[in-house]
Amino acid sequence: MRVKNRVIVVIILLIIVFLAGFVPQYIKVKRLENDLSVARQENAMAQLRDLAGLAFVQASQKNYGLAAETSKQFFGRTREVANHAPDTIGRKALEDLLAFQDKIAAELAKGDPEALGDLQVLFEKTRQAAGTIDR
């Protein structure tokens, strides 16, 4: 009986020691995974801001062809980021940006200087959306 109790106590102690080592590491891994997810989201939003700003600069230089290509990249990337947004508020903010796509594409295709104003608004809305998601 005494040996059986010792075996049970040793097994329980081994389990406690295992959990004492495992639980803190598990918590640390989960925190780091969350930090990585946030960093990836922030990076994606920075890329969107860069693309919106680049399209604006290209259009201001009257290089509408390049601005059209950049804005196409922007809207494609915006769709990707929206599909992976962690919450509905961030997803909605990104989807609102997509409403500009047809108008801006048409203006850039025609070489319309009005595109510059719309690209400026798009850039500002992208910055606002980034603030919504980064929080």
pLDDT digits (tens, 9 = 90+) for 33-64: 999 998 998 999 999 999 999 999 999 999 99
88: which 2 tokens?
């509905």
- Listed as ranges, residues in the chain with pLDDT below 70 are 132-135
Of the candidates 53, 69, 37, 34, which has an alpha carbon nearest to the alpha carbon of residue 116? 53
* Residue 51: predicted pLDDT: 97
Give the whole-angstrom CA distance, residue 1 versus residue 127: 71
Q: What is the pLDDT of residue 133?
A: 62
77, 103 Cβ separation under 8 angstroms: no
pTM for this structure?
Answer: 0.78
User: H helices of the chain, where?
Assistant: 2-60, 64-83, 88-97, 101-110, 114-134
Structural domain includes residue 56: yes
What integer pLDDT is reported at residue 1 of this predicted model? 74
Looking at the structure of the chain, the number of domains it has is: 1
Instruction: Show the domain range for 76.
Output: 40-134
Contact 106, 43 (CB under 8 A): no
pLDDT computed for residue 3 by the predictor: 82
Residue 107 falls inside a structural domain: yes
User: Is 52 a member of any domain?
Assistant: yes
In a domain, 27, yes or no: no
- For residue 85, the model assigns a pLDDT of 81
The CATH number of the domain where 103 resides is what? 1.20.120
* Any domain includes 128: yes
